[in-house]
Amino acid sequence: MAYKFNVTRGNAILNFSEEFCQSRCQLIESESFAKVLEKYIRNIKRKDTTIYVYLHSIQEDDVDLLENLRGIFKLLLVMSVDEVCSIRPEAQKYFKDNDMFIALVEDIYLFWRRLQRYAVVFNETKRAGYQNVQFADAQNEFEELVLEVYRTIERALGKKDKVMRQITAGVNAGLTVTHMRPFLPYEYRNLDEIPFIESVVIHPPFIAYSKRNKRDGVFPEMKTNPIEDKKFDSDSWFCYPAKVGDLLCFIYFNVKFMAQGVTLCNLFDLADESEYRNRKPDLIYVYGYEDGKDNQAFYQDETNDMIVALLSANDDFDYFGYMKKMVLTLHNVQKINHRELPIHGAMVKMTLHNGETKNIVVMGDSGAGKSETIEQIKVYGAAYITDLKTIYDDMGVLSLDEKGQVKTSGTEIGAFVRLDDLDAGYSFKELDRSVFMNPDKVNARIVIPITDYKDVVAKHDVDMFLYANNYEDKDEALSFFENADDALEVFRAGARMAKGTTTEMGIVESYFANPFGPVQRRDQTEPILQDYFKRMFKQGVKVGQLRTRLGIKGNEHEGPKAAAIEILKYVTGETELKELPAEE
């Protein structure tokens, strides 16, 4: 990364290895501040705001305006307005309306805060900018410096704040990266120079906005390698080495989509260098390639035993769902290739007061009520459950152990959850670790870590395997199938009432409720599906249907509640559930 500072697509990227301001004067004189101010002036000029009209009446040339403002701001760090005007008489015209100048300072500060701000440090060299300051400490120092400059200038203008708000004024997140030549096949040599992310620091609340808030369709498979022969500018890309279940995925993302890339740390465990230095990845995903097209396909590289994909830099794909679901599609296709069965669902490990454990998998497509039901189990099972651990929230896999017994494991350490679902009490852990996405829009989401990686990849027994039916309004919330053929008829159809999480409407069907691999590889998946269901019935797994009624209007809360209560009654053997006594 040759530049010190860059603003692109609403992202401000500060290269602390090249420039790290340690005093108020350094900040005002910095190249970074000049670029922010230049962007700000262009922005208010384009909008023809009242502030720009005021400034333009004083100085018509924008270049001179920028330099004049920088000079005035620098003086205001140590002088009052009267003192500035006495040594620089030409500055008096800027203060003819002091309230307007205060509004200018506030507006520049607001413009800065509205950018998504990221700090980057290269760990192999500590150049003059970053020096020897620890990265997290450097970010805190930078934030304090920005606040100090802002407040000092406002005080010099006569504005006194009685209430101080210690908001995130520095960067929203920071990355330590390294230039490491990865262990890639020859066809992917064009990716060699892209730096790898080693660690991530997030400053909550981390709120990101994208052009879209829904994902559309399925990812098709193509017959040619979409990455081969593409050109990459290493200054414009980062690689997030992700552990997706027990597979290794190199996720390359364009800096124009920094929010999507940084959010990955809440969803997929970040691989350590020792885990990928001399290892070929199982999966490669290039997100945000600027080809002026709308490519969003994956390819099976049989020669190198990898599944790879490319997604174009397109406003239609500017949504985290396109990041997450493509990665899971690659994972699932590779698992199908190895005769394992991808599960679009959630799995919890329930420990009862008597010491018995129950592992419950609830399968279903987006909006079927998996997560809502699991949370209601936690709420209404408090008198019976000592521990309820979410192993995976969205995508898992069935595999066989050395004895041919069906086991299950997950793919992600986090969850990508609708904020609307949290209103029903869907609590994972601390919300202050969340990344919020489009919080003021329909289908607003958070991405939050929920499970340790070791628990995700462990091979768990399966006690109950349930299909989440959100569209049937029947009294019987929980029922079980007597044979594999009857079960497969329901599970294979994958029917659900669409809830607006995608662009679908009404009752829709998707093969095995999983459009992320099984749909694209139906012929390959079908014999695996039949084999695993026969094995589950043979080993005594309770395979059934859970009617969450989440897609039926008026049942959004009562449906998952009733489903949860029926599960609890079944696993505890109780006919009526008791509640814990209220806290004193």
Q: How far is it, in rounded angstroms, from Cα 238 to Cα 524? A: 34
Amino acid at 419: L
Domain assignment present for residue 406? The answer is yes
Please indicate, yes or no, whether residues 35 and 59 belong to a single structural domain of this protein: yes
The three state secondary structure string of 298-340 is EEEECCCCEEEEEEECCHHHCCHHHHHHHHHHHHHHHHHHCCC
Please give the Cα distance from 55 to 65 (Å, whole number). 8
463: CATH: 3.90.228.20
Question: What residues contact 302, with CB distance under 8 A and at least 6 apart?
Answer: none
- CA 261, distance to chain mean position in Å, is 7
pLDDT-flagged residues of the chain (< 50): 126-132, 423-429
H or E segment and range at residue 402 = none
Same domain, 252 and 393: no
Q: Considering 337, 362, 380, which residue would you say is the last residue of a domain?
A: 337
State both tokens at 489: 């008829």
Among 318, 337, 356, the domain boundary falls at 337
Integer Cα distance of 576 and 570 in angstroms: 11
Query: Cis peptide before 226, with omega less than 30 degrees from 0?
Result: no
Which pair of structure tokens corresponds to residue 434? 């969340």
Same domain, residue pair 320 and 287:
yes
Rg, Å, the chain Cα set: 27
Contact between 93 and 147 under an 8 Å Cβ cutoff? The reply is no
User: What are the angstrom distances between the C-alpha of 87 and each of 68, 71, 76, 79, 82?
Assistant: 14, 12, 12, 10, 9
CB 511 within 8 A of CB 494: yes
| Residue 176: inside a domain | no
Residues ≥6 apart with Cβ < 8 Å to 10: 114, 115, 116, 209
CB 336 within 8 A of CB 528: yes
Q: Are 165 and 196 contained in the same domain?
A: no
CB 536 within 8 A of CB 399: no
3-state secondary structure of 218: coil
- CA distances to 299, 407, 476 from 330, rounded to whole Å, are 9, 21, 37
* Region label for 500, one of left (φ > 0), alpha (ψ between -120 and 50) or beta (otherwise): left
Domain residue limits at 195: 181-337
By the 10 Å C-beta count (0-12 exposed, 13-18 middle, 19+ buried), 580 is classed as exposed
Question: pLDDT value at position 442?
Answer: 84
Q: Is residue 288 part of a domain?
A: yes
Residue-level pLDDT at 576: 85
Summarised one tens digit per residue, pLDDT across range 97-109 is: 999 999 999 999 9
pLDDT for residue 276: 95
Pairing of strands 196-202, 495-497: unpaired
Q: Are residues 78 and 113 in the same domain?
A: yes
Does residue 431 fall inside a structural domain? Answer: no
The token duo for 51 is: 């502030």
The one-letter code for the residue type at 416 is F
Q: How many beta carbons lie within 10 A of that of residue 462, not counting itself? A: 23
Residues 104 and 245 in one domain: no
Q: What is the dihedral of CA 507, 509, 513, 517, to 10 degrees?
A: -140
Give the distance between the most distant pair of CA atoms in the chain.
Answer: 92
Q: What share of the chain is helix, strand, coil (3-state, %, to 5)?
A: 35, 25, 40
259 within some domain: yes
Identify which of 383, 334, 317, 365 has the alpha carbon closest to the alpha carbon of residue 565: 383
Which residue, 286, 314, 337, sits at the end of a domain?
337
* pLDDT digit string, tens, across residues 364-385: 988 888 888 887 888 888 888 9
Q: Residue 235 maps to which CATH number? A: 3.40.449
Question: Does any domain span residue 225?
Answer: yes
524 and 541, same domain (yes or no): yes
293 and 160: one domain? no
Q: What is the rounded CA–CA span in Å between residue 265 and residue 241?
A: 10
Beta bridge partners of 466: 362, 544
SS3 380: helix
Q: Using DSSP, state whether 39 is helix, strand or coil.
A: helix
Total domains present in the chain = 3
- The residue with tokens 């020096």 is 131
pLDDT at 376: 86
For the chain, how far is it from start to end, CA to CA, in angstroms? 58
Indicate whether 285 and 401 sit together in one domain.
no
Residues composing the chain: 584
C-alpha to C-alpha distance for 33 and 4, rounded to whole angstroms: 11
Rounded distance between C-alpha atoms, residue 80 and residue 75, angstroms? 8
Q: What is the pTM of this model?
A: 0.92
What's the half-sphere exposure (Cβ side, CA atoms, 13 Å) at 21?
A: 23
Residue 456 is assigned to a structural domain of this protein: yes
Same domain, 462 and 555: yes
- Sheet with 414-418, side-by-side order of all strands: 206-208, 435-437, 445-449, 414-418
H or E segment and range at residue 46: helix 31-47
Please give the backbone phi and psi of residue 482, each rounded to the nearest 5 degrees, phi first: -90, -20
| Residue 295 in domain | yes
Q: Is 489 exposed, middle or buried (0-12, 13-18, 19+ CB in 10 A)?
A: exposed
Q: Could you tell me if 192 and 316 lie in one domain?
A: yes
Beta-bridge mates of residue 14: 5, 119
In whole angstroms, what is the distance from residue 429 CA to residue 415 CA?
A: 11
Residue 567 identity? I
Q: Are residues 332 and 349 in the same domain?
A: no
